[in-house]
Amino acid sequence: MTALEIRGEYLNIASDKRTRTGERTIKHNRKIKGRKGIGKFAGLTIASRMELTTVARERFCTLLIDKKDLIENQNDLEAVPLPFSEGNANGANGGTIVVLSDLDSRLNFPNPDKLREILIYEYGREESFKVFVNGASLSVQDVPGATSQVETTLPNAGSVCLHYTIADGKRPPRSPGIILKVDGKSVGRPMLFGLDEDEEIPEKLVKRVYGEVELTGIEDFVTADWGAVLENSKAFQEARAYINEQVKNKLRETHAKDLSLQKARLQKQINQRLQELPEYRRHYAEEALNRILKRFYGESEDRIATIADVALDAMEHDTYWAVLDRINSLSQGDVGSFAESLEEFGLLELASIGMQASRRRQFLDFFDQLTQNPKTLEKDVHKALETNLWILGRKYALMSSNATLRKMIDSYCGTSFNGPRASKRPDLLLSQDYGDTYLLIEFKRPAHDITRDDIAQAEKYRDDLSSRLSSTTKMDIMMIGRGRLATIDTRQLLGSITIHSYSSIISSARMELDWLIKSLSASKQ
Q: Which residues contact 91 (CB under 8 A, 6 or more apart)?
A: 58
How sure is the predictor about 53, in pLDDT bands with cuts at 50, 70 and 90?
very high
Provide the β-strand partners of residue 256: none
- Look at residue 299 in the predicted model and tell me its pLDDT: 66
| Cβ 28 vs Cβ 127: under 8 Å | yes
Mean pLDDT for the stretch of residues 9-27: 71
Q: What CATH fold (topology level) applies to the domain 118-252? A: Ribosomal Protein S5; domain 2 (3.30.230)
Residue 221 CB-half CA count within 13 A: 19
Mean pLDDT for the stretch of residues 47-51: 91
Mean pLDDT for the stretch of residues 233-249: 91
pLDDT at 305 over 50: yes
User: pLDDT of 178-192, one tens digit each?
Assistant: 888 888 788 888 888
pLDDT at 401 over 70: yes
Every domain of the chain and the residues it spans: 3-108, 118-252, 257-367, 375-502
Rounded to an integer, what distance in angstroms lies between the CA atom of residue 311 and that of residue 300? 16
What pTM was estimated for this model as a whole? 0.46
Max mean pLDDT range (232-246, 277-291, 309-323, 386-400) = 232-246
- Look at residue 303 in the predicted model and tell me its pLDDT: 67
| Cβ 443 vs Cβ 429: under 8 Å | yes
Taking phi over 0 as left and psi of -120 to 50 as alpha, with beta for the rest, 34 belongs to: left
More confident residue, 307 or 55: 55
Q: Which long-range contacts (CB under 8 A, 24 or more apart) does 77-85 make?
A: 77/13, 82/11, 84/3, 84/6, 85/61
- Look at residue 338 in the predicted model and tell me its pLDDT: 45
pLDDT at 317 over 60: no
User: In what helix (H) or strand (E) does residue 59 lie, and over which residues does it extend?
Assistant: strand 59-66
pLDDT above 90 as % of the chain = 13
pLDDT at 62 over 90: yes
Mean pLDDT for the stretch of residues 152-157: 91
Mean pLDDT for the stretch of residues 9-18: 71
- Look at residue 507 in the predicted model and tell me its pLDDT: 92
Max mean pLDDT range (35-39, 47-51, 125-129, 202-206) = 47-51
| Cβ 147 vs Cβ 140: under 8 Å | yes
Mean pLDDT for the stretch of residues 393-406: 74
pLDDT at 143 over 50: yes
Provide the β-strand partners of residue 178: 191, 211
How sure is the predictor about 113, in pLDDT bands with cuts at 50, 70 and 90?
confident
Q: Is the alpha carbon torsion for 393, 398, 402, 405 positive or negative?
A: negative
Mean pLDDT for the stretch of residues 391-405: 75
β-sheet with 59-66: strand ranges across: 84-88, 59-66, 47-56, 95-103
Mean pLDDT for the stretch of residues 486-513: 86
| Cβ 323 vs Cβ 344: under 8 Å | yes
Mean pLDDT for the stretch of residues 333-357: 55
Could you tell me where the DSSP H helices lie in 108-173? 112-123
| Cβ 148 vs Cβ 246: under 8 Å | yes
User: pLDDT of 425-443, one tens digit each?
Assistant: 888 888 887 667 888 999 9
Q: What is the CA radius of gyration of the chain?
A: 33
pLDDT at 325 over 80: no
**144 vs 20, 33, 106, 177, 306, CA distance in Å?**
38, 24, 29, 15, 29
Judged on CB neighbours under 10 Å (0-12, 13-18, 19+), 276 is exposed
Provide the β-strand partners of residue 55: 60, 95
pLDDT at 32 over 80: no
CB neighbour burial string for 335-354, b if at least 16 within 10 angstroms, e if fewer: eeebeebeeebbebbbebbb
CB neighbour burial string for 162-183, b if at least 16 within 10 angstroms, e if fewer: bbbbbbeeeebbeebbbbbbbe
Provide the β-strand partners of residue 101: 49
pLDDT at 398 over 90: no
- Look at residue 351 in the predicted model and tell me its pLDDT: 60
pLDDT at 523 over 60: no
Average pLDDT, the chain: 78
Task: Identify the CA nearest to 384 among candidates 308, 508, 480.
Answer: 480
